[in-house]
Amino acid sequence: MQHPGVPSPLDPQRPRAPEPRTVWQALAVRPGRFAWTAWPWRAVGYLASGAVTGAVTLLVLLVLAGFSLVLVGLPLLLLAGVALGGLERRRLRLVDREPAVDPHRVPEAPGLAAWLRLRVREQATWRELAYAVLHATVLWPLDLAVLAVGLGLPAALLGVPLQLAADGHEAKVVKTFLVTTYPQALAAALLGLVLLPLLLYPLTALAGARAALGRALLAPRETELRGRIGEVTASRARLAAAFEAERRRIERDLHDGAQQRLVALTMTLGLARYDAPPGPLADQLAQAHEEAGRVLAELRELIHGIHPQVLADYGLGAALADAADRSAVPVETSGIDEALPRLPAAVESAAYFAAREALANIGRHSGAARVRITARHTDGALHLEIEDDGRGGADPAHGSGLTGLADRLAVLDGTLTITSPPGGPTLLRAEIPCSALSGSSSPRTASSSARD
């Protein structure tokens, strides 16, 4: 009788164990029925095909060794390693259904020369060559030895009765024991029948270990991860560069288009205002002239916020000094390196707007009376520090804009560190790895016309 709450073995709703994807999982999930599944024979196929490819690889390497003193010797060896690596990654599917990702990158330019240059510089190519040498000298003899013990010994025992029948007098078991009677032959065959499923377990385990070694050399997971991270980093850098270029285009269009037209309109209204006789019309022109002036000032401030001209013309040092002049809280800028070089546009823009956001946060939330900005380029990185004497307690979780600062810097692999104990002071440190542009420097001062 089935007890309540206990699922029946015949219940179709009973959850089934997931299908194993590797020989290791098959050994762990189905140890009792493992010998009767397809996995042991997949392992046998993997070892047998490994013995074949290993013997062929040994022959190829011996032939290519004769060309070692010729210039084409090394390229041919590399090509052999790359070809074997691709074949071995496909063979892994016999004992590991998880696809082995090709660690090679795609050449940026077409042609055999570009492909060879890229392959020579890749670590994966040299790992494949090392695997080819190891496979040709050590691994395939090991595959044969495992097959000889795991399959050859049971097969030899099972064939003793046939040997005795063919000879008529005696048969040797694995060239060691002499069998002269049929009861002895049947006992040997029975022993072989028992050993066959038992030896499939260690044979399959060794095949799994062999496949793990191949995957570690030919498709290491850390290499796959680094490759994906590298692609994401490069893509993120391209997006940042495209965003910065679009920001500059918008700033240039507003500066050269809408702002110039608004300046001309303001001048026209001013002339009309002074030429008009006193009266209601003159008053309306005066009001329109003043409104146009306010709109022009707002547009200039908007353009400055999109991408300040002082940053493009004079660099980060002058732009930080300009941001300090515009800050609601007095800012000391003596800590800005006088010899701060010109840096990549994306780095200068990220550092400038991070400083602007930090100064805005200080003015809104900190209650500080003084702020100090320090900026220098040392050890291949830009170091920016902003310290205030406010009340402290800055917390990115409270929507203070600090999360946006960290995201802006992370696009360039930069880091943001904040020290803000209750009661202050608050110290914000930003570090962006970058190289200085050759033959460039950034003066600290800028003309007032550059700020407009």
What's at 333, amino acid-wise?
A: T
Residues 154 and 251 occupy one common structural domain: no
Residues 194 and 260 occupy one common structural domain: no
C-alpha 292/C-alpha 300 separation (Å) is: 12
98-127 burial string, b = 16+ CB within 10 Å, else e? eebeebbeeeeeeeeeeeeebbeebebbeb
Residues 272 and 374 occupy one common structural domain: no
What CA–CA distances, in Å, run from 77 to 8, 44, 71, 83, 203? 60, 29, 11, 10, 32
Return averaged pLDDT per consecutive 10 residues of the chain, 452 residues in all: 44 53 78 80 90 90 68 71 88 85 78 82 87 91 90 85 79 75 84 86 89 85 56 59 62 65 76 76 76 72 64 82 85 80 84 84 83 88 89 67 71 82 85 78 44 42
Find the domain containing 264 and state its range. Answer: 246-306
The answer to whether 348 and 316 are in contact (CB under 8 A) is yes
H or E segment to which residue 421 belongs: none
pLDDT of residue 56: 92
pLDDT of residue 78: 79
Residues 336 and 301 occupy one common structural domain: no
On whether residue 229 sits in a domain, the answer given is: no
139-150 burial string, b = 16+ CB within 10 Å, else e? bbebbbebbeeb
Give which of 129, 78, 123 is closest to 105, Cα–Cα.
Answer: 123
On whether residue 337 sits in a domain, the answer given is: yes
Residues 39 and 182 occupy one common structural domain: yes
Residues 282 and 157 occupy one common structural domain: no
**Domain endpoint, select from 306, 322, 348:** 306
Residues 395 and 275 occupy one common structural domain: no
pLDDT of residue 1: 43
Give which of 157, 161, 186, 187 is closest to 173, Cα–Cα.
Answer: 157
On whether residue 238 sits in a domain, the answer given is: no
On whether residue 232 sits in a domain, the answer given is: no
Q: Please report which residue ranges of 219-344 form alpha helices under DSSP H.
A: 221-253, 259-275, 280-306, 309-314, 316-326
On whether residue 60 sits in a domain, the answer given is: yes
pLDDT of residue 305: 56
pLDDT of residue 48: 92
**Domain endpoint, select from 306, 329, 345:** 306
C-alpha 137/C-alpha 200 separation (Å) is: 25
C-alpha 189/C-alpha 195 separation (Å) is: 10
Residues 293 and 199 occupy one common structural domain: no
Tell me what the pLDDT averaged over the chain comes to.
77
pLDDT of residue 51: 92
On whether residue 421 sits in a domain, the answer given is: yes
pLDDT of residue 53: 92
On whether residue 141 sits in a domain, the answer given is: yes
> Beta strands of 111-259 (E only): which ranges?
171-173, 177-179
Residues 295 and 337 occupy one common structural domain: no
pLDDT of residue 142: 92
What CA–CA distances, in Å, run from 271 to 19, 147, 205, 265, 358? 85, 101, 94, 10, 43
What's at 361, amino acid-wise?
A: N
Residues 298 and 314 occupy one common structural domain: no
The model's pLDDT over 158-172, given as tens digits with 9 standing for 90+, comes to 888 888 788 777 777
**Domain endpoint, select from 176, 200, 219:** 219
Cβ contacts of 314 within 8 Å, gap of 6 or more: 442, 443, 445, 446, 450
C-alpha 100/C-alpha 89 separation (Å) is: 6
Residues 294 and 179 occupy one common structural domain: no
List, in sequence order, every residue forming a beta bridge with 432; answer none if it has no partner: 382
With H, G, I as helix, E, B as strand and everything else as coil, classify residue 423. coil
The model's pLDDT over 390-438, given as tens digits with 9 standing for 90+, comes to 888 776 655 556 666 777 777 777 888 888 888 878 888 889 888 887 6
On whether residue 321 sits in a domain, the answer given is: yes
Specify the number of domains making up the chain: 3
How long is the chain? Answer: 452
The answer to whether 320 and 333 are in contact (CB under 8 A) is yes
Residues 317 and 285 occupy one common structural domain: no
426: domain CATH number is 3.30.565.10
